Amino acid sequence: MVESEEPTSGTMADSLISNLESLSPLQLFERVTEQGEKVRALKAGKAPKDEIDAAVRMLLSLKLSYKTTTGQDYQAGLPPKDLVLINNGATKEDDEDLVDPWNVQTSNAKGVDYDKLIVRFGSSKIDTDLINRIERATGQKPHHFLRRGIFFSHRDMDQVLDAYENKKSFYLYTGRGPSSQAMHVGHLIPFMFTKWLQEVFDVPLVIQLTDDEKYLWKDMTVEKAYEYAKENAKDIIACGFDINKTFIFSDLDYLGASPGFYKNIVKVQKHVTFNQVKGIFGFTDSDCIGKISFPAIQAAPSFSSSFPQIFNGKENIQCLIPCAIDQDPYFRMTRDVAPRIGQPKPALLHSVFFPALQGAQTKMSASDPNSSIFLTDTPKQIKTKINKHAFSGGRDTIEEHRKYGGNCDVDVSFMYLTFFLEDDDRLEQLKQAYTSGELLTGELKKVLIETMQPLVAAHQERRKQVTDEVVKQFMTPRKLAFEF
Ligand code: TYM
């Protein structure tokens, strides 16, 4: 039996193809896989020739539809590119970086190759044109996270701007998985940027605290997860969000309180199969069913009907999600489902990772205290951690350093300064001085310590002002200061 023959033409194939048109790339991928298995089973079972022939013709039609829809040839075990998650061994090349919601790992001291990631994830680069457009639309100087490529990738941001320029509003959605009491400075990145977006675009913001996710993934009680959610809400509020424009919610709380939210969750659940989440998130048969259905809960806030109190019951308000790129798999899935449940696809802005103190091979992670500067650290702890652990791009001896200069591309202190030192001229001076050997590692670390200590202390001061009552207000479902 040759599988390269043309699929049947005529009415049967035509009607098959028109039925297939309504399927998403992932559903098509699944249909091809199932059909391939069927053909193999028929052949192995020595089924009658005409039965095998019919099954092969169907397989070829399916492959053709898959190619027409995705622009990619079907490859067994490789879901369509836009949806592939890299933690799945079948899809990751040996020399590729590992990036998913739970892991970030690369062998390159300069960190993850983000340009390659854009290609692999099928997102778009935030280029100068887009940054200029944001500047024109808002009338504000672009945030240094944009100017310095810290937010480097997007999905459909140009559409958000098209609509915004035509006076069509949108809303922001971001979140946090409250895995412990203390957040680290890396977690501030999406929140600082979201605050800026909220200010310059003047739009509503919803912040999801996935205490349910942390209960499912970590060894903690439901009560503890909820407690952490409220504690983390204080840190988020301390970033300076406007109480009249921001709704923060815990899944454990809000899911029971909002039929709109739950309706969207079940809609997503109905349109994603176990095979699909296995392909995207790498779940296995032994993962609990809570994990398997969780992605629908992170997807649902992308739809405005999850918040009828804010959007006056309107269903089609565009959503924009700022996050680090580790969260993208959730939203690739969401964007795949959205048109099938009659909702707009959420747009995204992705940031790079704030590296661990030990180097950019991995991200700062709350589970490794020495990799992170926490928002609860004292000035002394910050100083000790930076001096002791921050990976240096300097030379082995002062003489060599003066002669050959340091390497800013791998130096963690310099990397941290690109995130937190806002003054472009000063940053450039430091770069020049370090690269030429004029500035030593200890001196660069001192600049970082003097930048981080007041930043963290100011955060702690603002957090102290956030009372339980303020948290309650932010977390009460209510109308915000916008008319829809
Ligand atoms: P979580 O708690 O792991 O992370 C919260 C936010 O911080 C980003 N992030 C980082 N950014 C830069 N450098 C790092 N080292 C770093 N580590 C984490 C994450 O990308 C995220 O934006 N499941 C999610 C919670 C969530 C969410 C969302 C996040 C629910 N809905 C919508 C973003 C958008 C989580 O556990 O995030």
pLDDT, block means (10 residues), the chain with 484 residues:
35 50 73 86 89 91 80 72 40 64 76 88 96 97 97 97 94 95 92 98 98 96 97 97 98 96 98 94 94 98 98 95 96 97 97 90 77 94 96 94 95 96 96 97 98 98 98 98 96
Domain boundary among 324, 357, 390: 357
Could you tell me whether strands 359-363 and 355-356 are parallel, antiparallel, or unpaired per DSSP bridges? antiparallel
Q: Sheet containing 355-356: which strands, arranged edge to edge?
A: 98-99, 104-105, 359-363, 355-356
| Residue 236 lies inside a defined structural domain of this protein | yes
Angle at the Cα of 385 from the Cα atoms of 422 and 100, rounded to 5 degrees: 70
Using the Cα atoms of residue 168, residue 263, residue 210 and residue 251 in order, give the sign of their dihedral.
Answer: positive
Radius of gyration of the chain (CA): 25
Q: Sheet containing 246-250: which strands, arranged edge to edge?
A: 124-125, 151-155, 347-351, 318-324, 170-176, 205-209, 246-250
The residue among 194, 151, 140 whose CA lies nearest residue 171 is 194
Any ligand 1 atom below 6 A from CB of 459: no
Is there a single domain that holds both residue 345 and residue 395?
no
Indicate the DSSP class of residue 141: P
Determine the residue of 176, 268, 365 to mutate for testing ligand 1's pocket, defined as the one with the most ligand atoms within 8 A of the Cβ atom. Answer: 176
- Residue 107 has a pLDDT of 77
Is there a single domain that holds both residue 340 and residue 375?
no
Q: How far is the CA of 144 from the centre of ligand 1 (A)?
A: 20
Q: Rounded distance, CA 414 to CA 430, Å?
A: 8
Q: How far is the CA of 454 from the centre of ligand 1 (A)?
A: 24
Could you identify the residue written with the tokens 């559409």? 159
| Residue 8 lies inside a defined structural domain of this protein | no
Any ligand 1 atom below 6 A from CB of 185: no
| Residue 473 lies inside a defined structural domain of this protein | no
Any ligand 1 atom below 6 A from CB of 161: no
Q: How many domains does the chain have?
A: 3
Is there a single domain that holds both residue 277 and residue 424?
no
Ligand 1 atom, smallest distance to 363 CA = 15
| Residue 428 lies inside a defined structural domain of this protein | yes
- Residue 304 has a pLDDT of 98
Is there a single domain that holds both residue 223 and residue 297?
yes
Nearest CA to ligand 1 atom 31: 175
Is there a single domain that holds both residue 108 and residue 72?
no
| Residue 36 lies inside a defined structural domain of this protein | yes
CATH of the domain at 253: 3.40.50.620
| Residue 5 lies inside a defined structural domain of this protein | no
In order, the DSSP letters of 413-480 are HHHHHHHH---HHHHHHHHHHHHHTSS-HHHHHHHHHHHHHHHHHHHHHHHHT--HHHHHHHTS----
Indicate the DSSP class of residue 355: E
Q: Rounded distance, CA 291 to CA 269, Å?
A: 12
Q: How far is the CA of 58 from the centre of ligand 1 (A)?
A: 43
DSSP H or E stretch at residue 326: none
Its domain, for residue 139, covers: 99-357
This prediction has a pTM of 0.83
Contact assessment for residue 186 and residue 353, using Cβ atoms and an 8 Å cutoff: yes
Any ligand 1 atom below 6 A from CB of 351: yes
| Residue 81 lies inside a defined structural domain of this protein | no
Residues comprising the chain, all counted: 484
Ligand 1 atom, smallest distance to 187 CA = 7
Indicate the DSSP class of residue 205: E
Is there a single domain that holds both residue 303 and residue 450?
no
Q: How far is the CA of 406 from the centre of ligand 1 (A)?
A: 32
- Residue 3 has a pLDDT of 34
Ligand 1 atom, smallest distance to 324 CA = 20
Is there a single domain that holds both residue 281 and residue 158?
yes
Nearest CA to ligand 1 atom 22: 323
Contact assessment for residue 154 and residue 350, using Cβ atoms and an 8 Å cutoff: yes
- Residue 182 has a pLDDT of 83
Determine the residue of 232, 239, 323, 375 to mutate for testing ligand 1's pocket, defined as the one with the most ligand atoms within 8 A of the Cβ atom. Answer: 323
Q: How far is the CA of 194 from the centre of ligand 1 (A)?
A: 12
Ligand 1 atom, smallest distance to 327 CA = 20
Nearest CA to ligand 1 atom 34: 174
- Residue 77 has a pLDDT of 65
Is there a single domain that holds both residue 321 and residue 410?
no
Any ligand 1 atom below 6 A from CB of 213: yes
In DSSP terms, 347 is beta-bridged to 320
Any ligand 1 atom below 6 A from CB of 352: no
Q: Rounded distance, CA 43 to CA 47, Å?
A: 6
Nearest CA to ligand 1 atom 35: 177
- Residue 16 has a pLDDT of 53
Is there a single domain that holds both residue 104 and residue 201?
yes
Is there a single domain that holds both residue 160 and residue 243?
yes
| Residue 4 lies inside a defined structural domain of this protein | no
18: helix, strand or coil: helix
Is there a single domain that holds both residue 253 and residue 277?
yes
- Residue 337 has a pLDDT of 97
- Residue 13 has a pLDDT of 43
Q: Rounded distance, CA 431 to CA 408, Å?
A: 7
